[in-house]
Structures are given as structure tokens and as C-alpha cells.
Chain A
Amino acid sequence: AQSVTQLGSHVSVSEGALVLLRCNYSSSVPPYLFWYVQYPNQGLQLLLKYTTGATLVKGINGFEAEFKKSETSFHLTKPSAHMSDAAEYFCAVNMNRDDKIIFGKGTRLHILP
């Protein structure tokens, strides 16, 4: 069965510091991988996705993620955190190219002034 694990339900970083949110998946086939952001009282917005090709993908708001098959990881990074980045972030995986996309439990990102 496909699954996705996000390490750390809460992550705090200082404004201007590096953001690193971790995501690992289990899969027997190459997956499609996604990161979503959810601001308070809003829906989920797609940040970036990996399907095929280049393993380093860039998304909106300066975020990027790298697909590492050997580590079964798809960690999300941003070089310099901004206060507006404070939100809930979800990693998601689709392994069978079917319609089922499974979400991790989410990581709440706190930005410290």
C-alpha cells in the first residue's frame, strides 16, 4: 500500500532562515509526488509536483523539492523563510497513476520573528 510520512508535525524557523520540511514515501513503483500549502481557514494550494524528468522541482513562493529515489524522499526547502510562509504543509503521493492521492499528516510551519 502506498503511504507518505512527514517528519515533525510542527517546525519552527526564524525569519530569513532555511526552511526544510521532510517527506518520505513507500512505493514499489515510481511515484508522482506533490507538496501542498494550506493557510488558515483556506483550501489547499498546490506548491509543486514531481512526475517525471528533472528530480529538482521548483514551485511557487520560492519553494523547491528534490525527489531522491534512493532515499524515498521528497523534502521541501526554501532558502529564506518569510513570515507569510507560516501555514500547514502537506506532502502527497500518487503511486499507481490512478485516481487515489494519499496525503501525509501535515507539518505546521511557524516563522519566528
Chain B
Amino acid sequence: DTAVSQTPKYLVTQMGNDKSIKCEQNLGHDTMYWYKQDSKKFLKIMFSYNNKELIINETVPNRFSPKSPDKAHLNLHINSLELGDSAVYFCASSLPGTGVFFGPGTRLTVL
């Protein structure tokens, strides 16, 4: 199936730990994103990469570090996790004018 996939689907961890979320798209899109959705369902863009190059870096703590090894992959590493990092993280991809296609999300719970 052509899609945006991300792993894991659920992530439960203790404060202070480091964790990674992986994302892959096989849609041939040039641009990939990370979005954060909080408990009030508000969606906020975190990062955008175009052909492995960082394009958008919103006001996100530098504990969050995206990495794009190639244009089909965009991973998110989070250091020193905090309670406020609990949210659903969505990976997405797009071509200009196509709209954004989302992965299924990773529900991160920090205890």
C-alpha cells in the first residue's frame, strides 16, 4: 500500500528518557513533516524537510531533533522527555498543491 507509515504506534516512557519515532513514505513526495497534536486536538507543525533539507523549524525545544536520511524517511528523536511532551505525533508528506498526507500517529505518554 502507498502510504505514510510511522512506528511505534504507542510509546509509554518515563520522564528523562530518550526516544525515537520513525517515519517512512512511499508516495514519492519531496516534503515531509512532523506535527504535534495536543490533548485539545490542536495540530501544530514542528518541522518540515524538503529533499532531506530542513525547511521549517518552528519554536520547538532543541530536545527535539529530526533526521532525514533520505527523502522517504524522517525520524524524530526526543531527548530528556518531559511530561508536557505527551501528545500524538504525526508524520506527514506532501507535494506542492496536493495537500498533506498523514501517518497514523504515535501516541507518546510520558510518566
Interface residues of chain A, those whose CB is within 8 Å of chain B, are 32, 34, 36, 38, 42-46, 49, 51, 88, 90, 92, 97-103, 105-106, 108
Residues 39-84 of B contacting A (Cβ, < 8 Å)? 40-45, 48, 50, 55-56
Chain B interface main SS type? strand
A selection of 25 A-B contacts at a CB cut-off of 8 Å is: A32-B97, A36-B102, A42-B104, A42-B105, A43-B102, A43-B105, A44-B90, A44-B100, A44-B102, A45-B102, A46-B101, A49-B97, A88-B41, A90-B43, A92-B99, A98-B55, A99-B31, A99-B48, A100-B48, A103-B43, A105-B40, A106-B41, A106-B42, A106-B43, A108-B41
Tell whether, in the assembled complex, residue B50 and residue A99 are in contact, meaning their CB atoms are under 8 Å apart: yes
In this complex, how many residues of chain B approach chain A with their Cβ under 8 Å: the count is: 25
Count: A-B pairs, CB below 8 Å:
57
**Which secondary structure characterizes the binding site on chain A?**
strand
Chain A residue with the shortest CB-CB distance to B4: A43
**Chain A residue with minimal CB distance to B49?**
A99
B90 and A102 contact, CB distance less than 8 A: no
